[in-house]
């Protein structure tokens, strides 16, 4: 059984939620024919349900698409689709009570902040989308945003330049190094469920990146609360079997699949502090790292990202 104590280590204390929590796989960014996808909402939901997902957020552009999940939890969402000249400025809004109209602004920071504030006002949780899409913004702008704690660090969309340079993962480390508490999200941003894409466009297929959330119940409120506190990981392949955090150490084991081999990197301030080969790894926290995050890489180019642990200085 998957165990964890994902926690923020702050002033020597560790915060955890109930050990009875469940681990739930989900996707928080996908599209249907209601905006620019190529499949009806029912077909999109069926794909995720049949592929073992526990929850889904359909994020059609500037609208909320609602329907029956057929036994899979559907959380209402929207991709708020703002822009400046040659700069798409998008964010996903999770758990909305009403549609959010793009708010606009004079700069990328102003536009994104206006939209973040509007999402919060509508009862939703904002996630910053694909900063490198058309190279719209970077770590400098992300560092100025308030009241948002999640950014997409892995995306299945082939046109959003997640690997940079600079990569969005490296932007994440800049934010964390500067003391900003931000969690990394993996998404599909899927548009293509079977039909051919427009001529010359690469396929944005489902099942490319996801999150696994640790929540007390398979309910919207519990899942979104777990995401806000960083009780989840992002993945494009590897599955975590156990993950434990104490004030002294971070330890994890990986579920062995196929003939994959694994490496676990413990990262702080953009540098690898320790690398371990195998399906288990332990890092001893010194207390001067600022933060440490674990990254799992498999032998077929897939990865999983645990959320940062913020280490207090040991006296």
Residue that the structure tokens 């069926």 belong to? 46
Q: How confident is the model at residue 2 (pLDDT cuts 50, 70, 90)?
A: very low
Q: What local confidence, expressed as pLDDT, does residue 293 receive?
A: 98
Cβ-proximal residues to 191 (8 Å cutoff; 6+ apart), any chain: 31, 36, 37, 38, 157, 197, 204
**Quick one: pLDDT band at residue 21, thresholds 50, 70, 90?**
confident
**Res. 241: pLDDT tops 50:** yes
Name, in order, each residue with C-beta under 8 angstroms of 257's C-beta and a sequence gap of 6 or more: 238, 239
pLDDT at position 314 = 55
Q: Do 95 and 220 touch, CB atoms closer than 8 A?
A: yes
Q: Say what the pLDDT of residue 203 is.
A: 86
pLDDT mean over 205-224: 96
152 bridge partner residues:
185
- Decide yes or no: CATH 2.60.40.10 for domain 1-17+235-315: yes
Compute the average pLDDT of residues 209-233: 97
State the pLDDT at residue 199.
66
pLDDT at res. 8: 40
DSSP state of 134: G
Helices assigned H by DSSP within the chain: 41-50, 108-121, 139-142, 168-177, 220-228
Q: Which residues contact 106 (CB under 8 A, 6 or more apart)?
A: none
Top-tier CATH class for 18-230: alpha beta
| Distance between CA atoms of residues 223 and 82, nearest Å | 26
Round to whole Å and give the CA distance between 131 and 136. Answer: 6
Q: What pLDDT, in 10s, does the model give residues 280-312?
A: 999 999 999 999 999 999 999 999 999 999 976
Q: Where are the strands (E) in the chain, listed by range? A: 3-4, 9-10, 13-14, 22-27, 55-56, 73-74, 77-84, 87-94, 125-128, 150-155, 183-187, 210-215, 232-235, 240-245, 249-254, 262-268, 271-277, 280-284, 293-298, 303-305
The pLDDT of residue 101 is above 70? yes
Q: Is the distance from CB of 158 to CB of 203 less than 8 angstroms?
A: yes
Q: How far is CA 141 from CA 185, 253, 261, 268, in A?
A: 18, 35, 37, 21
Domain(s) of CATH 2.60.40.10: residues in the chain:
1-17+235-315
Share of the chain above pLDDT 90, in %: 88
Q: pLDDT at position 200, please?
A: 63
Percent with pLDDT over 70 in the chain:
90
Rounded to whole angstroms, how far apart are CA atoms 245 and 11?
Answer: 15
The two beta strands, 9-10 and 293-298, are: unpaired
pLDDT tens digits, 192-214:
998 665 666 778 999 999 999 99
Mean pLDDT value across residues 90-116: 98
Q: What is the mean pLDDT of the chain?
A: 92
Q: What residue spans in the chain does CATH classification 3.20.20.140 cover?
A: 18-230
Q: Which pLDDT band holds residue 267 (cuts at 50, 70, 90)?
A: very high
pLDDT at 182 over 90: yes
pLDDT of 258 over the 80 cut: yes
Sorting pLDDT into bands at 50, 70 and 90, what band is 249? very high
Among 204, 213, 240, residue whose Cα is nearest residue 75:
213
Bridge partners, 232 (sequence order): 213
The pLDDT value recorded for residue 198 is 62
Q: What is the pLDDT of residue 1?
A: 41
Express each pLDDT in 115-160 by its tens digit: 999 999 999 999 999 999 999 999 999 999 999 999 999 999 999 9
């Amino acid at each position: 059984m998957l165990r964890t104590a994902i926690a923020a280590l702050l002033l020597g204390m560790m915060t955890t939620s109930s050990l009875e929590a469940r681990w739930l796989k989900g996707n928080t960014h996908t599209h249907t024919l209601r905006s620019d996808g190529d499949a009806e909402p029912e077909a999109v939901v069926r794909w995720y349900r049949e592929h073992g997902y526990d929850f889904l957020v359909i994020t059609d552009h500037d609208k909320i698409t609602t329907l029956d999940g057929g036994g899979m939890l559907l959380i209402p969402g929207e991709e708020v689709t703002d822009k400046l000249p040659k700069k798409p400025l998008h964010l996903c809004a999770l758990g909305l009570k009403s549609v959010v109209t793009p708010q606009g602004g004079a700069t990328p920071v102003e536009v994104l902040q206006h939209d973040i504030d509007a999402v919060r006002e509508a009862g939703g949780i904002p996630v910053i989308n694909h900063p490198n899409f058309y190279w719209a913004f970077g770590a400098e702008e992300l560092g100025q945003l308030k009241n948002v704690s999640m950014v997409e660090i892995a995306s299945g969309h082939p046109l959003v330049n997640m690997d940079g340079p600079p990569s969005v993962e490296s932007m994440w480390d800049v934010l964390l190094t500067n003391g900003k508490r931000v969690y990394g999200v993996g998404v599909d941003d899927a548009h293509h469920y079977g039909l051919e894409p427009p001529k010359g466009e690469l396929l944005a297929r489902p099942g490319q990146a996801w999150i696994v959330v640790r929540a007390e119940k398979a309910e919207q409120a519990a899942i979104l609360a777990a995401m806000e506190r960083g009780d989840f990981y992002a993945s494009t392949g590897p599955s975590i079997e156990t993950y434990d955090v104490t004030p002294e150490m971070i330890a994890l084991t990986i579920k062995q699949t196929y003939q994959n081999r694994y490496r676990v990197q413990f990262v702080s301030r953009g540098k690898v502090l320790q690398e371990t080969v195998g399906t288990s790894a332990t890092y001893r926290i010194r207390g001067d790292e600022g933060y440490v995050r674990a990254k799992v890489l498999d032998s077929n180019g897939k990865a999983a990202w645990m959320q940062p642990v913020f280490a207090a200085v040991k006296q």
